[in-house]
Amino acid sequence: MQLLRSYRLLVTWQALRKKNYLPLMMAVQTLFSLGIVLGYPLLFPTLDKTSIYLIATGAPAISMVSVGLVALPQTIGEQKAEGSLAYMRSLPVARLAYLVADLTVWLAIVIPGVVLGVLVGAWRFGLDLQVSPLVLPAVVMVALTATCVGYAIASLLPYMLTVIITQALVVFVFMFSPLTFLPDKLPGWLEAIHRVLPIQAMGEITRGTLAPNEFGLPLGAFLTLAVWCVLGFGVTYAAMSRRG
């Protein structure tokens, strides 16, 4: 009961803190999606049907991964550096309530960008996406894993290192991760790395539920994401509870 009360109050607090940034964040995510769906056809004037579906479903996936693995860790790193995270950790609330409340608000930030990304892709390519009924839990799982892993990065690393690593992640996610293309396009060693990392699984689950008629939905991807999600949450929770 106390946990729920704390959770509710902390969601209010964190949502109010981020309300000024929400429109900006949504605009950036929409621009991401727009950039991808408008930019790729310029690079590759003749796109086959599979490529079009890959781009249209890859855009919202990239948007989720970018917020979770880049924007979130940079924000949390900044909060660590300025001392505001320490203040929140000094409040008389369970660490679990704080962490789950913050993740809830981050999810709320991610999801509208995904919807906009899907709409932009469908509009640009004139697609009639027959989304799977699993799309909502799937998107929530992808977004939750991205935010948990992002949170763990910021919790473990010093701020400056977080900034450097997340900048590098932007390039890695955009150019070298199988979100807007299939993994067989990658060199063997990178393909092997992506079989372990969560990004490929995020792409597979997003496109498998947004365009189930075009792509399969490998169960292994859910397992990979579940492992990363639990790992990210566990590491973050441990770091949050740890006394230096």
Partner 1 sequence: MLLEIAELTKVYRTGIRANDGISLAIDEGEVFGLLGHNGAGKTTLVNQVVGLLRPTSGSIRIDGRDMVADPGLARRLCSFQAQAQVPIDGLTPRQAIDLLGQLRGLSRGDVQRRRERLVDSLDLGEWLDVDAARLSGGIKRLVAFAMAAVAPGRLVMLDEPTNDVDPLRRRLLWRQVRALADHGAAVLLVTHNVIEAERSVDRLAILDEGRVIAEGTPAELKGRLGAALRLELVLDPDLIDLPVSPFGLSAVPVGNRLMVGVPTDAAGPAVAWAESLKRAGSIEEFTLGPATLEDVYVALVGGSEAAPAQVEEVFDATAA
In the complex, the residues that contact partner 1 under the rule CB under 8 A are 5-6, 9-10, 12-13, 16-20, 79, 82-84, 86-94, 243-244
Burial of 233 (0-12, 13-18, 19+ CB in 10 A): buried
Closest CB to partner 1 among 159 and 176? 159
Q: Which residue, 69, 73, 71, 57, is CA-closest to 178?
A: 57
The conformation of residue 15, written as its DSSP 8-state character, comes to H
Closest CB to partner 1 among 19 and 195? 19
Q: Which residue, 219, 222, 206, is CA-closest to 58?
A: 206
Closest CB to partner 1 among 73 and 208? 73
The span from the CA of 221 to the CA of 227, in Å, is: 10
Closest approach, Cβ 98 to partner 1, in A, equals 10
Closest approach, Cβ 211 to partner 1, in A, equals 37
Closest CB to partner 1 among 83 and 188? 83
Closest CB to partner 1 among 33 and 79? 79
Both tokens of residue 114?
Answer: 């995904």
The span from the CA of 191 to the CA of 195, in Å, is: 6
